[in-house]
Amino acid sequence: MGQSLAKTWLHIVFSTKHRETFLDDEAVRARLHRYLAGICRKQKCPAMIVGGVSDHVHILCLLSPNVTIQGLIRTVKRQSNVWLKKTWPHMTAFSWQKGYAVFSHSENHLDYVQHYIANQKRHHKEVSFKKELRYLLRVHHLDYDERYLWD
């Protein structure tokens, strides 16, 4: 093949440190989600949707073949952390958790994932972030050590 081709859809999930509810304010959360989408776009990893609730976010984006998953998430977290503290001075204690979960999805699964992310507020009236993350890890057959999952 004379060229390299890739199309990898990622579902990225990460939480605020210790799942603190820093993102309770819906206006702050909406602006943060737009900002996260902008960071992804600048990294050539356009987001289809960004969503979440007061203690975590979900990003569904297309991974650029020139960007590593770790590099993308490090950039997203670092830039949004600085932006949040600069934009809302009362959030000086804000921080993202150290880790993240990321899952790949095929094109035919994107509508489901997009709907899932769009309905986070309703979903989390019944299910905690811990239960949600354990479910996602189980569905994707991803082994984990509970001792290091919740920093």
DSSP string for residues in 68-110: -HHHHHHHHHHHHHHHHHHH-GGGTT--B-S--EEEEE-GGGH
**What is each CA distance from 129 to 1, 58, 75, 105, 149, in whole angstroms?**
43, 11, 23, 21, 12
Please say whether the beta carbons of 123 and 82 come within 8 A.
no
Q: What six digits make up the tokens of 149?
A: 């999952």
Neighbours of 15 (CB within 10 A): 23
What the block records as the tokens of 30 is 């909406």
* pLDDT one-digit tens code per residue, 89-129: 889 999 999 999 999 999 999 999 999 999 998 888 888 88
78, two tokens? 């670092």
In order of their start, the domains of the chain are 8-149 (3.30.70.1290)
Q: State yes or no: pLDDT of 1 exceeds 70.
A: no
Could you give the angle at the alpha carbon of 131 between the alpha carbons of 85 and 111, nearest 5°?
Answer: 80
Q: What is the pTM of this model?
A: 0.93
Nearest Cα to Cα of residue 104 among 13, 3, 37: 13
pLDDT for 39-96, tens place per residue? Answer: 999 999 999 999 999 999 999 999 999 999 999 999 999 999 999 999 998 899 999 9
Q: Could you tell me the pLDDT band of residue 145, with boundaries at 50, 70 and 90?
A: confident
Residue-averaged pLDDT of the chain: 93
Mean pLDDT of 139-147: 88
